[in-house]
């Protein structure tokens, strides 16, 4: 019950080599943090793991079999939360957004309704189900984007900075939901640059810098690693 990649190399036009031999694993029932500063390659890695970007070499495997050999069926086993909810949401209303994938799954209407209800309650979006997506606040969009994945009940979740740029109320909701997903047995990879979050959520951590995993281990990360990865500020103050 494991998802991950081995020696993954990805090049992007104009930038060149963005991932330089990345290997990691996510087991079901655990939250793994992918901690790295801006530009370290977190988003690129998530897109490659989701099969949305091709690697130059190396492989992504889902439960022992190369992911590319399992596409497109495996897509519904992996949920990707994009860093920017505007990249994720494209339907006119919140309800349309949630129904979009459910319609493709061909579920009976009562099952679709039940899933929408459950997920809407979990993410506190019941009151905005009929709102146009463009009218939502950023925090609401982030919650709807996560809901649009959770309705199809994927086994693995790749969450790209799910707690960035949201207020404490929204942060609480996201943290609670991520914890409940872990308890439900999902395998979660959470990309973030928030070191404090790692202690609160993750059981394992990969620290990434300049396209490489420079450290991996438990949630207690040595200070020297954080400094090396540019994840810790120095003593700067304006007095
Ligand atoms: N579409 C793209 N085309 C070319 N280069 C890109 C593209 N997206 C990201 N990059 C570059 O790849 C590197 C890693 O970016 P990214 O994966 O977004 O890092 P992170 O998510 O950790 O901030 C950066 O140098 C960035 O400028
Ligand atoms: Mg990113």
Q: Which residues are within 8 A (CB) of 168 and not within 5 positions of it... i.e. 6 or more apart?
A: none
In a domain, 185, yes or no: yes
pLDDT at residue 226, as a whole number: 94
pLDDT of residue 119: 97
CATH of the domain at 116: 3.40.50.300
- Whether 195 maps to a domain, the answer reads yes
CA distance 94 to 62: 31
How many degrees, rounded to 5, is the angle at CA 156 between CA 25 and CA 60? 45
Q: For residue 208, how far is its CA from the centre of ligand 1 (angstroms)?
A: 13
Nearest ligand to residue 37 Cα:
1
The CA 154 to ligand 2 mean position distance, Å, reads: 22
Question: What confidence score (pLDDT) does residue 238 get?
Answer: 84
236 found inside a domain: no
- Cβ atoms of residues 85 and 141 within 8 Å: yes
Protein residue with least CA distance to atom 26, ligand 1: 39
- Give pLDDT, residue 199: 87
Segments forming the whole domain that contains residue 147? 2-228
- The whole-number pLDDT of residue 184 equals 97
Ligand 1 centroid distance, CA of 101 (Å): 28
Ligand 1 neighbours (beta carbon < 6 A):
12-15, 18, 36, 38-44
Q: Is residue 235 part of a domain?
A: no
Residue 215: the pLDDT is 98
Atom of ligand 1 nearest to the CA of 14: 4
pLDDT averages per 10-residue partition of the chain, 239 residues: 95 94 98 97 97 95 96 94 96 96 88 95 97 96 97 97 94 95 98 92 97 96 93 78
pLDDT for res 42: 98
Residue to mutate (ligand 1; options 35, 43, 48; most atoms within 8 A of CB): 43
Is 234 a domain residue? no
Is 237 inside any structural domain? no
Residue 238 resides in a domain: no
pLDDT at residue 152, rounded to an integer: 94
Confidence (pLDDT) at 237: 77
Distance from the alpha carbon of residue 109 to the mean position of ligand 2, in angstroms: 36
Backbone angles phi, psi at 33, to 5 degrees: -90, 140
Number of domains in the chain: 1
Task: Establish if 99 belongs to a structural domain.
Answer: yes
């Amino acid at each position: 019950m494991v998802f991950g990649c081995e020696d993954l190399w990805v090049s992007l036009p104009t930038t060149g080599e963005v991932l330089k031999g990345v290997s990691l694993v996510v087991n079901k029932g655990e939250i793994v943090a992918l901690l790295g500063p801006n530009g370290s390659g977190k988003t690129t890695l998530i897109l490659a793991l989701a099969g949305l970007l091709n690697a130059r070499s190396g492989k992504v495997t889902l439960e022992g079999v190369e992911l590319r050999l399992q596409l497109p069926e495996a897509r519904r086993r992996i949920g990707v939360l994009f860093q920017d909810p505007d990249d994720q949401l494209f339907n006119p209303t919140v309800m349309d957004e949630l129904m979009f994938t459910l319609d493709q799954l061909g579920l009976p209407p009562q099952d679709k309704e039940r899933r929408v209800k459950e997920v809407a309650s979990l993410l506190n979006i019941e009151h905005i189900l009929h709102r146009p997506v463009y009218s939502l606040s950023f925090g609401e969009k982030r919650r709807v984007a996560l809901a649009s994945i959770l309705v199809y009940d994927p086994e693995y979740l790749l969450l790209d900075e799910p707690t960035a740029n949201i207020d404490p109320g929204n942060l609480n909701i996201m943290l609670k939901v991520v914890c409940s997903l872990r308890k439900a047995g999902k395998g979660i990879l959470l990309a973030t640059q928030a070191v404090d979050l790692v202690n609160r959520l993750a059981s394992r951590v990969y620290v990434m810098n300049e396209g490489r995993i420079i450290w991996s281990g438990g949630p207690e990360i040595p200070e020297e690693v954080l400094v090396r990865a540019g994840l810790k500020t120095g003593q700067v103050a304006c007095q």
